[in-house]
């Protein structure tokens, strides 16, 4: 693995385990066994490193989404799996970490998270529309409402206060249950048959 890639991997681990606010360039260099000078030769400052790190990981997640969309049997399954993948990306970082990035690095938040959200918003809109045209989702349901509902689920299921109320579930499990129930509720009979085939993937 190239040094720059190793730096990004190590930084992402620290962001996930601690916070972008708490990690330092000294800590990143020490964990990698390199000098701080070498670190700065690859990234001009901590902000640049954090932004590149988040963009790299979101782009990897987006590539997985593209593959899901290419391989899924229909638009409804694509939508379910893609939304699940989107939440996994957010849950791994954690709601509190995202709040810290928004507070202390607002430009990075705009350049990474908002771009990631917009990518998923565009894809989910197209997939929901396709699912409606295929007779899998009830046509009278407002697409923007569905997107806003799932976006609230996506972030809220990663909040510590909600997790503490449901200690038997982790963030991903909670979101999967919300997603399954919500999508089953707005699907046609044909759509419900498809969703139920994937029940084990969402409710275990």
Mean pLDDT for 161-186 is: 88
What is d(CA 57, CA 12) in angstroms, rounded to the nearest whole number?
A: 8
Per-residue confidence band for 56, with pLDDT thresholds at 50, 70 and 90 = very high
Computed over every residue of the chain, the mean pLDDT equals 88
What is d(CA 82, CA 128) in angstroms, rounded to the nearest whole number?
A: 12
Task: Name residue, tokens 């490193």.
Answer: 49
Does residue 120 contact residue 86 with C-beta atoms inside 8 Å? Answer: yes
Question: At residue 190, does pLDDT exceed 80?
Answer: yes
Does residue 191 contact residue 76 with C-beta atoms inside 8 Å? Answer: yes
Mean pLDDT for 169-191 is: 91
Select from 84, 65, 107 the least CA-distant residue to 182: 84
Per-residue confidence band for 57, with pLDDT thresholds at 50, 70 and 90 = confident
**Domain ranges, residue 94:** 3-202
Q: What is the dihedral of CA 130, 134, 139, 143, to 10 degrees?
A: -20
pLDDT of residue 153: 83
Could you report the per-residue pLDDT of 113-134, keeping only the tens digit for each? 888 878 888 888 989 999 999 9
Question: At residue 111, does pLDDT exceed 80?
Answer: yes
Percent of the chain, pLDDT > 70?
Answer: 99
What is d(CA 120, CA 143) in angstroms, rounded to the nearest whole number?
A: 13
153 Cβ neighbours under 8 A, 6+ residues apart: 87, 175, 178, 179, 182
Per-residue confidence band for 138, with pLDDT thresholds at 50, 70 and 90 = very high
Mean pLDDT for 79-91 is: 82
Mean pLDDT for 83-88 is: 81
pLDDT of residue 204: 66
Sign of the four-CA dihedral 122, 124, 127, 128: negative
Per-residue confidence band for 106, with pLDDT thresholds at 50, 70 and 90 = very high
pLDDT of residue 109: 92
Per-residue confidence band for 63, with pLDDT thresholds at 50, 70 and 90 = confident
Mean pLDDT for 104-118 is: 88
Between 188 and 64, the more confident residue is: 188
Task: Name residue, tokens 């260099």.
Answer: 29
Specify the CATH number for the domain of residue 189: 1.10.357.10
Q: How many domains, the chain?
A: 1
* Burial class of residue 118 in the structure, from the number of CB atoms within 10 Å of its CB (0-12 exposed, 13-18 middle, 19+ buried): exposed
């Amino acid at each position: 693995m190239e040094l720059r890639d190793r730096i990004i991997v190590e930084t992402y681990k620290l962001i996930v385990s601690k916070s972008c606010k708490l990690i330092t360039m000294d800590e990143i260099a020490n964990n990698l066994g390199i000098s701080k000078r070498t670190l700065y030769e690859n990234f001009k400052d901590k902000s640049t490193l954090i932004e590149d790190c988040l963009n790299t990981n979101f782009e990897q997640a987006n590539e997985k989404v593209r593959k899901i969309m290419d391989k899924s049997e229909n638009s409804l399954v694509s939508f379910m799996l893609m939304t699940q993948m989107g939440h996994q990306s957010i849950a791994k970082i954690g709601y509190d970490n995202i709040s810290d990035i928004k507070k202390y690095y607002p430009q990075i938040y705009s350049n990474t998270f908002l771009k990631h959200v917009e990518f998923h918003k565009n894809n989910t809109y197209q997939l929901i529309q396709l699912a409606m045209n295929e007779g899998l989702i009830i046509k009278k349901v407002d697409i923007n409402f569905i997107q806003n509902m799932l976006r609230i689920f996506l972030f809220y299921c990663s909040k510590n206060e909600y997790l503490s109320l449901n200690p038997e579930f982790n963030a991903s499990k909670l979101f999967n249950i919300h997603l399954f129930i919500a999508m089953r509720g707005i699907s046609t009979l044909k759509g419900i048959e498809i969703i139920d085939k994937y029940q084990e993937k969402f409710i275990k």
